[in-house]
Amino acid sequence: MKAQLGISIFAVLLIASLGVSFAQDDPDDSRQRVTGCLRKGAAAHRYNLIDENGKLWGLQSKNVSLGPHVGHTVTVSGTIPQKSKDDNTGDTSPQNNLNVTQLEMVKDTCQQ
């Protein structure tokens, strides 16, 4: 009886730990929405946005044309790319990169 109980507890703990592992591997697709001034980035097809709080965001998009809106105040929506499982840099700083899926122009100028 004790052996069955021990095996049952072990099985429950094993299943629970696997569930936690799978939950951590799932990408967080939470949407972000940021408003600020759009600027051209240093690399091709890369852009920067300084939001209303002064935070710098690195933007990229496969489907939204960001280039025509450089120098404009825009609101962008998208997802923060997930770090690779193989990333062992130990970097715990918040990610300020955004894969843009939607852009709304707020003004055709930026307030600086």
The answer to whether 47 touches 69, Cβ cutoff 8 Å, is no
Return the higher-pLDDT residue of 31 and 59. 59
pLDDT tens per residue across span 71-101: 999 999 999 887 655 555 555 455 689 999 9
Top-level class of domain 31-86+93-107: mainly beta
- Residue 112: pLDDT band (50, 70, 90) is low
Look up residue 2 and give its two tokens.
């004790």
The answer to whether 65 touches 104, Cβ cutoff 8 Å, is no
Domain residue ranges in the chain = 31-86+93-107
Look up residue 56 and give its two tokens.
């710098």
Three-class secondary structure of residue 27 per DSSP: coil
Look up residue 82 and give its two tokens.
């997930």
Give the predicted TM-score (pTM) of the model: 0.64
